[in-house]
Amino acid sequence: MTSSDELRLRREKEAKRIRASLNRQRGIQHASLKGGESAVAFVKEQLCIGCDQCTIVCDDDAIEVYKVAMRSPLIQVETNQKAKIVRQDCTGCRLCVLACPTDAISMIDR
Ligand code: SF4
Ligand code: SF4
């Protein structure tokens, strides 16, 4: 029978393998994205779930969140939040694109 220590070690090994695989994919994605001075990030509002991941990774304070009303009357929350890019502060580093879980951010020509 598998002991809890063996199970924990197996889980840690598997977590490392998954993390390495995701990092590899992010590296490939990063290289394929438009970036730098000629590009700026853009948020598609409909896809943004207001999770704040992009604001955490942006070192340039180029992302702000703003409140919007909930669209569904079934959910009893007064406001929801969305992210928007402060264009003049965006350096085109692409980190927010990689961090967004819903693919709401893309890089566009400046
Ligand atoms: S591309 Fe970089 S600088 Fe621009 S908003 Fe995203 S994380 Fe911030
Ligand atoms: S990471 Fe994506 S979904 Fe989350 S707040 Fe930023 S743009 Fe919206």
Structure token digits, residue 108: 């566009």
For the residues 97-109, what does the mean pLDDT come to? 94
CA 32 to chain CA centroid, nearest Å: 16
- Give the tens place of pLDDT for each residue, 65-100: 999 987 777 777 777 899 999 999 999 999 999 999
Dist. CA 20 → ligand 1 center (Å): 23
pLDDT of residue 62: 97
pLDDT of residue 38: 92
Q: Going by CA atoms, what residue is nearest to atom 5 of ligand 2?
A: 50
Residue type, 102: T
If we measure between CA atoms, which residue out of 68, 66, 98 comes closest to residue 83? 66
pTM score of the predicted model = 0.77
For ligand 1, pick from 43, 55, 90, 100 the residue to mutate: most ligand atoms within 8 Å of CB: 90
- Give the tens place of pLDDT for each residue, 15-44: 888 888 888 888 888 888 888 889 999 999
For the CA of 63, the nearest ligand = 1
pLDDT of residue 55: 95
